[in-house]
Amino acid sequence: MSDEDRPSVSRERFEAFLGALNSRDFGALDALLTSEVAFQSLVGGSEGAEPYSGVEGLRDWANEVDAVWEDWHQEIVEFREVSRDQAVMILRATGRARASGVPLDTLSGNVLTWRNDKGWEVVAYTDPREAFEAVGLPE
């Protein structure tokens, strides 16, 4: 496969993004993402809220998540390329609520879109099937 045919969205690149997000390495995130990256999250903001924008938006998201959850961590359960610039990931999020100690272990579906070889948009779905449906893939 030539470099031109190789998807810009690869599991390794998304793992780098997720690793930087998990470790709150905003310098690494800045190198991986476009300046106008949009992140539609399931946690941190309220339902229907505007997406977090740019690396500063991801920093705001992380601060909101860290205020509610201890030991927050996400990992890839499934990764499926849709096209050269888009993929669907099923993520497992784990953590423990700071106020109550209640554990979290949940799956979400996420659609990642790249532009100009950098992460441009991430949209999270409560039900992983919705992420596949959003890009026209069967589960």
Domain assignment of residue 4, yes or no: no
CA 70-71-76 angle, 5° bins: 130
pLDDT of residue 45: 54
Instruction: Tell me, yes or no, whether 1 lies in a domain.
Output: no
CA distance 126 to 52: 17
pLDDT of the residue at 120: 87
Instruction: Write down the mean pLDDT value for the chain.
Output: 88
pLDDT above 90 as % of the chain: 62
Residue 5 lies in a domain: no
Which segment of 35-44, 67-76, 98-107 scores lowest on mean pLDDT? 35-44
Handedness of CA 12, 19, 90, 135 (dihedral sign): negative
Residue with tokens 């998990």: 22
Q: Domain count of the chain?
A: 1
Neighbours of 23 (CB within 10 A): 11
Q: Tell me, yes or no, whether 99 lies in a domain.
A: yes
Query: What per-residue confidence (pLDDT) applies to 41?
Result: 84
**Domain at 98, CATH number:** 3.10.450.50
Q: Is residue 52 part of a domain?
A: yes
Domain with 16, as residue range(s), is 11-134
Task: Identify the band that residue 23 occupies on the pLDDT scale cut at 50, 70 and 90.
Answer: very high
Residue 139 covered by a domain: no
Which tokens go with 96? 């423990």
What predicted TM-score, i.e. pTM, was given to this entire model?
0.84
Residue 22 confidence (pLDDT) above 60: yes
Does the residue 58 lie in any domain? yes
Q: Is residue 123 part of a domain?
A: yes
